[in-house]
């Protein structure tokens, strides 16, 4: 790894681009597994006789464990770095998928997804994004957008692959095959992780802070965390329940997973665009604009019957919701210092995962009550509106603070 880093340095190339690729792949695998729960939802619930709410609660468990342990890993990352995060995450993520192929009770189902979140996704999300963001002093939004687009690619293809594996081999073999795919890809690439020199320097000198922002890091994290809860409820419901919604309407599983794939491939471009938007017009305005898009598009899914319109709506929602995700990362990167970066991203992710978990569960809960997804997607839209209101007040709060400081 040192030879690779030296080779890049000798040629005047920022090793941060290698980190972008590494996080692209690792986050893609982790996000892909989380999204694949929606594809496993119906076959697993049918086999064991669980309700949609019970089965989708696994997504909530994984989200909450990612949230709680992400805060702890953020503290570790800011103090010691992220050198071994990819290695541990790759081993644990693959092992839990393998064990899921043999589970036979709802307790095991929840426990294994708890471990996946705590020891897999929590290690591979926020701490590594913080590392990537601080490899770049110019255009960090582009770098973060490219790295984050891996999550959308994973969410696009892994659920689709999972659906094909389930249809041909059954859900147990599908989990087993995913485990072998993950360990083969994730383990070798994890050894390329290298800590940002900026973050290493910031750890050795707590007074060093190249960033100036009018609010303290605690104020920034508090505002973003509050908004992110509702933002992620809005996006989680279609991510978790779009495939069951479409199959309930008589579409094939292959079609439903292909719609999810279109949504997520569009999301890859949305994450890159969201990062660039943050570099160009500012992190928070970019966040507000992309949030407006996801809120407008999310409410239409239950009423759509034309395959072409379904694909179009999936593309529009995917582009905007994914732009929101990279915008959150850019906001945190631009508003907090380097020695607080992993903690800040982990704390905002904590509340984001709470929102994702609530959205995933409430989508299934509303279905169990009403027998359809109409209220679930309406609730997603209402959550998006609340997110926009909070972001607007945050924007005004910053402007007020700037006037007090500069006048």
Token pair, residue 303, equals 């009423």
Residue 223 pLDDT exceeds 80: yes
* Residue among 123, 125, 113, 95 at smallest CA distance from 37: 113
CB atoms inside a 10 Å sphere around CB 72: 13
Output the pTM of the full model: 0.77
Check if the beta carbon of residue 178 is closer than 8 Å to that of residue 162: yes
Q: How much is the average pLDDT of 79-84?
A: 86
Who contacts 66 (Cβ-Cβ below 8 Å, separation ≥6)?
Answer: 117, 118, 121, 122, 125, 349, 353
- What does the alpha-carbon distance between residue 359 and residue 352 come to, in Å, rounded to a whole number? 10
* Residue among 322, 347, 391, 398 at smallest CA distance from 130: 347
Looking at 1-5, 182-186, 390-394, which range is the least confident one?
1-5
Token pair, residue 89, equals 């995450």
Residue 76 pLDDT exceeds 80: yes
Residue 78 pLDDT exceeds 90: no
Q: How much is the average pLDDT of 169-181?
A: 94
Say how many residues make up the chain. Answer: 407
Check if the beta carbon of residue 228 is closer than 8 Å to that of residue 346: no
- What does the alpha-carbon distance between residue 315 and residue 297 come to, in Å, rounded to a whole number? 10
CB atoms inside a 10 Å sphere around CB 39: 27
Residue 11 pLDDT exceeds 80: no
Q: Which domains can be identified in the chain, with CATH numbers? A: 8-406 (1.20.1250.20)
| pLDDT for the residue numbered 1 | 47
- What does the alpha-carbon distance between residue 82 and residue 123 come to, in Å, rounded to a whole number? 9
Token pair, residue 96, equals 């839990």
- What does the alpha-carbon distance between residue 143 and residue 196 come to, in Å, rounded to a whole number? 13
| pLDDT for the residue numbered 94 | 94
Residue 168 pLDDT exceeds 80: yes
Check if the beta carbon of residue 193 is closer than 8 Å to that of residue 22: yes
Token pair, residue 366, equals 């509303």
Looking at 15-19, 57-61, 105-109, 170-174, which range is the least confident one?
57-61
- What does the alpha-carbon distance between residue 235 and residue 260 come to, in Å, rounded to a whole number? 13
With bands split at pLDDT 50, 70 and 90, how would you rate the model's confidence at 39? Answer: confident
């Amino acid at each position: 790894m040192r030879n690779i880093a030296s080779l890049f340095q000798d040629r005047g190339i920022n090793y941060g681009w290698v980190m972008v690729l590494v996080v692209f792949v690792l986050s893609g695998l982790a996000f892909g597994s989380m999204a694949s729960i929606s594809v496993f939802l119906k076959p697993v619930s049918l086999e064991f006789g669980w309700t949609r709410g019970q089965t989708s609660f696994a997504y909530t468990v994984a989200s909450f464990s990612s949230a709680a342990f992400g805060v702890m890993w953020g503290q570790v990352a800011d103090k010691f770095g992220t050198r071994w995060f990819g290695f541990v995450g790759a081993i644990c993520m693959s092992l839990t998928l393998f064990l899921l192929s043999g589970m036979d009770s709802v307790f095991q189902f929840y426990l294994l997804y708890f471990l996946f979140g705590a020891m897999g996704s929590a290690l591979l999300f926020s701490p590594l994004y913080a590392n990537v963001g601080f490899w770049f002093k110019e255009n960090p939004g582009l770098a973060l957008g490219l790295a984050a687009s891996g999550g959308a690619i994973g969410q696009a293809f892994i659920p689709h692959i999972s659906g094909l594996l389930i249809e041909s081999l059954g859900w147990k073999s599908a989990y087993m095959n995913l485990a072998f795919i993950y360990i083969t890809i994730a383990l070798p690439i994890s050894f390329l992780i290298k800590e940002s020199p900026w973050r290493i320097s910031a750890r050795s000198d707590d007074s060093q802070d190249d960033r100036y922002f009018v609010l303290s890091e605690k104020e920034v994290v508090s505002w973003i965390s509050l908004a992110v809860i509702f933002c992620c409820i809005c996006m989680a419901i279609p991510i978790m329940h779009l495939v069951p919604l479409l199959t309930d309407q008589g579409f094939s599983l292959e079609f439903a997973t292909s719609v999810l794939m279109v949504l997520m491939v569009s999301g890859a471009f949305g994450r890159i665009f969201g990062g660039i938007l943050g570099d160009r017009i500012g992190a928070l305005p970019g966040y507000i604009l992309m949030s407006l898009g996801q809120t407008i598009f999310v409410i239409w899914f239950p009423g759509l019957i034309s395959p072409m319109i379904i694909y179009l709506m999936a593309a529009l929602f995917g582009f905007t919701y994914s732009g929101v995700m990279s915008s959150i990362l850019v906001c945190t990167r631009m508003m907090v210092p380097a020695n607080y970066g992993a903690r800040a991203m982990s704390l905002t992710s904590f509340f984001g995962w709470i929102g994702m978990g609530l959205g995933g569960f409430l989508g299934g809960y509303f279905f169990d009550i009403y027998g359809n997804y109409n209220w679930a997607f309406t609730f997603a839209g209402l959550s998006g509106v609340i997110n926009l209101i909070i972001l607007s007040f945050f924007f005004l709060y910053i402007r007020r603070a700037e006037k007090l400081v500069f006048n």
